[in-house]
Structure 1
Amino acid sequence: MDQLPDFDAYTQVETALKVEFAGVHPAATVTRCIEAAHHGAMEVTGYAYPSLVERIARKHLQVLAAVAGERG
């Protein structure tokens, strides 16, 4: 990930989402969604609070799961 302001907070977000989506997405997918959410938040708002990154990444992961469910 880019230089993140509060590494511990982002680590907690990553851990929580990996647990939440275990069995749905590989850990690497969760990490990529968090990185993409962080980058997108920075581009759009100029900041990336861990709670915002978590919400965006969770939505991405939910959409990916829904699409995979429709295909499977």
Structure 2
Amino acid sequence: MSEISMTDQEPDPYEHVSAALRDEFSEVHPATTVTRCIQAAHYGALEVTGQAHPGLVERIARKHLEVLALVASERG
């Protein structure tokens, strides 16, 4: 079995999305929540449209994070 070096791996297409949403929601959600929302948005977009363009994933994940923030504020 051969090892894959870091240069052989494809870049993360959602790296920019993740960084932007982590920054935007840093006061509300931990980074792990942002990551889970991006993953959920990715899989949801694939299921519905057959593709997961970073712009679409970002919009879906942002909506998830906004709803979670709203729920958290209503509980608090």
Which structure: larger Rg?
A: 2
The verdict on how the C-alpha distance between 1:6 and 1:42 changes in structure 2, with shifts beyond 3 A counting, is farther
1:1-39 deviation line (CA, Å, top 9, x unaligned): xxxx862x4100000000000010000000000000000
**Unmatched tracts of structure 1, length 5 or more:** none
- Aligned partners of 2:28, 2:72: CA distance in 1, in Å? 9
TM-score of the pair, normalised by structure 1: 0.89
Structure with more helix by fraction: 1
Q: Which amino acid aligns with 1:37?
A: A
- Aligned partners of 1:6, 1:36: CA distance in 2, in Å? 19
* RMSD between superposed Cα atoms in Å: 1.3
Determine what percentage of the aligned residue pairs are the same residue. Answer: 67
Q: Which amino acid aligns with 1:54?
A: E
How many residue pairs end up in the alignment?
Answer: 67
Kindly report structure 1 stretches of 4+ aligned residues shifted beyond 2 Å: none
